Amino acid sequence: MNGAGRYAPSPTGELHLGNLRTALLAWLFARSTGRRFLLRFEDLDPERSDRAHADRQLADLTALGLDFDGEPQTQSDRWASYAEAVDRLAGRTYECYCSRREIAEAPSAPHRQPGSLRTYPGTCRDLSNEQRADRLAEGRRPALRLRAGGASETVQDLLHGEVTRMVDDFVLRRNDGVWSYNLAVVVDDAAMGVDQVVRGDDLLSSAPGQAYLAALLGVPAPMYAHVPLAVNASGQRLAKRDGAVTLARLARQGVSAGEVLTLIAVSLDLAGPTERVTPALLLERFDPAALPRRPWAVPGSPAGSLRA
């Protein structure tokens, strides 16, 4: 089969157990369907990204036994591609001078659907040249938004089925000149031949907008699989601050990468708690339809659970 899957972390720190679990799932989905598996570092924000973090992340993924096709790619090398994509959207974008506070305090957009995520209220959608000049004179720097016009888009998700959402006028370029995730991910997936995207289900709501943008750019949207997140004992999304949840911290407690792989495999119902496994063995057992659909509550002391 042609096509590819990918894992695309942001190099802003070490990967935690939830990140590693999603990476393993992305690898399993890709390899089980005969796809290539690619690595991309989403380092758009120069103030938060660090090459040392990218190197550490690659080392951790390799320690788990995951392999990739080709060399890792970085978004910071592809700014010209994003600019070219925006040029192709001529007439479908507009400058936005709103601050986050102004957006938060503005009345809801008139086409907002009950229960939907808050959308941009359209404050700057139809500014006159004089109004834009006034905002520039105030020292405001504009972001660039997509003019979606209240459109809706449907995507197919391997775990969630058919998902339809209204498309927001989302940001394509921030007011500091940094390209947005929603633009870059569409451009990069198309350029890399990615037709299968496996990522955390916190990003499910963004998929229809990305598919809509793909259609505007004349590139195919991928098939999605949004997988459950890892959460801490309080049910909150897992973070590095939750303790020994990175390979480096667990290694300092005497826990090997192989034992961590077992812990993750157990959470996916792919192994017993004391079984030593490899990605190749998990691939033989992998069945997307049998995956747990609830968030993974990471043990309060992963090291302790592995030693029990």
The verdict on whether residue 4 carries a ligand-binding annotation is no
Helix H segments across 113-180?
A: 129-137
CA 268 to chain centre: 20
Residue 96 among known ligand-binding residues: yes
Q: Is 121 annotated as a binding residue?
A: no
Cβ(83)–Cβ(49) under 8 Å?
A: no
> What is the side-by-side order of every strand in the sheet holding 161-166?
161-166, 152-157, 223-227, 196-200
Q: Does 98 show up as a binding residue in the annotation?
A: yes
Q: Is 256 marked as binding a ligand?
A: no
Q: How many CB atoms within 10 Å of residue 213?
A: 25
- Residue 95 marked ligand-binding: no
E-strand stretches of the chain: 4-7, 36-41, 73-74, 93-96, 143-146, 152-157, 161-166, 171-173, 196-200, 223-227, 230-231, 296-297
Q: How far apart are CA 300 and CA 3, in angstroms?
A: 39
- Residues 292, 298, 299: CA angle, nearest 5 degrees: 125
Q: Can you say how many angstroms the Cα of residue 93 is from the centroid of all Cα atoms in its chain?
A: 23
Is 10 one of the annotated binding-site residues? Answer: yes
- Tell me whether residue 6 is annotated as binding: yes
Amino acid at 184: A
| Cα–Cα distance, 95 to 279 (Å, whole number) | 47
Burial class (CB in 10 A: 0-12, 13-18, 19+), 290: exposed
Which amino acids are annotated as binding site for Zn(2+), given as ranges? Answer: 96, 98, 120, 124
Which amino acids are annotated as binding site for ATP, given as ranges? Answer: 240
Which amino acids are annotated as binding site for L-glutamate, given as ranges? Answer: 6-10, 42, 181, 199
Which amino acids are annotated as binding site, given as ranges? Answer: 6-10, 42, 96, 98, 120, 124, 181, 199, 240
